[in-house]
Structure 1
């Protein structure tokens, strides 16, 4: 019996080898039917784009007078907290404008920053020598920062831009 089992195992191995070999050879075969026609044209639809109105190129240009007041009302909407200081204006290209808030009692405040310019505007808010906020803001957006003043202080505000810009900021108690 052991001799028959060995012969059966050897036979099974040979059959398995042949099946695997034939399978490997046939796996590379593909049936191709040639009916004499050329390839079908591929339909290329034009890309779909959303309808967009062209933007006003003057949208990001600084304004003055009543237009500036209207812009400030838009970017610094009314807040529920007590407003301690609001500042806004125009900074000329390449210059830095410096302002200061009134006396702020110690506490936590919301500082909202906004600008209107084709470029970025840099805001630096300091409590003495310590910078509470130092950021370059992409115009067209508003930014709200939470700051904490540990003792009564007057904050200094520096606004700088590479191109003429409107700026606005508001300090309100949370």
Structure 2
């Protein structure tokens, strides 16, 4: 009878440990949302959500390309979105170079900002509305990432791309 009671206690301890493990794992899978206040300035009050999607890397993308090969890579690196594409760009960065561009005026709403790079290192992407960073990401090349941003009012996004080594970049802003 003593071994039966000991087995019951062990079973209850294992069940409790399993519940605690599930609670810990479940809490680590919850989403976060970040809201950036515009400090009373007129214009956009953007919100970035943790709905980022990481697309799988391709090891063949460690070599940079130019011309038609760059255009073909940009098309393949930026998968078609279901929404309307408002702005896209791609190019080549020399070591230590950065480039900044602005989108057209975007109507308030939810947007997918797809970012991709190719080369042997990393590329830094910063997407801003005014002085507010919506996306500040250093992306390992041969990768792509989709970030979702919310614009409460019409806005123009500033996108800056930089790298410490030779790299290609591509990005697209699409309305969801």
Say whether residues 1:105 and 2:107 are aligned partners.
yes
Q: CA RMSD in A?
A: 1.2
Deviation for aligned residue 1:149: 1.1
Once the two structures are superposed, residues 34-72 of structure 1 have per-residue CA deviations (whole angstroms, 9 ceiling, x without a partner) of xxxxxxxxxxxxxxxxxxxxx76xx41211111001101
TM-score, reference length from structure 2: 0.65
Aligned to 2:37: none
Aligned to 2:119: 117
CA distance in 2, matches of 1:141, 1:96: 19
Q: How many residues align?
A: 118
Say whether residues 1:70 and 2:66 are aligned partners.
no
TM-score, reference length from structure 1: 0.65
Say whether residues 1:137 and 2:139 are aligned partners.
yes
CA distance in 1, matches of 2:80, 2:174: 10
CA distance in 2, matches of 1:153, 1:91: 27
Question: Which runs of 5 or more residues in structure 2 are unaligned?
Answer: 1-58
Question: Which runs of 5 or more residues in structure 1 are unaligned?
Answer: 1-54
Q: Which has the larger radius of gyration?
A: 1
CA distance in 1, matches of 2:84, 2:167: 27
For residue 125 of structure 2, give the secondary structure of its aligned residue in structure 1: strand
Match for residue 163 of structure 2 among 155, 161, 164: 161
CA distance in 2, matches of 1:152, 1:120: 31
CA distance in 1, matches of 2:73, 2:108: 30
For residue 66 of structure 1, give the secondary structure of its aligned residue in structure 2: helix
Once the two structures are superposed, residues 79-99 of structure 1 have per-residue CA deviations (whole angstroms, 9 ceiling, x without a partner) of 211111111111111011111
CA distance in 2, matches of 1:114, 1:65: 17
Aligned to 2:52: none
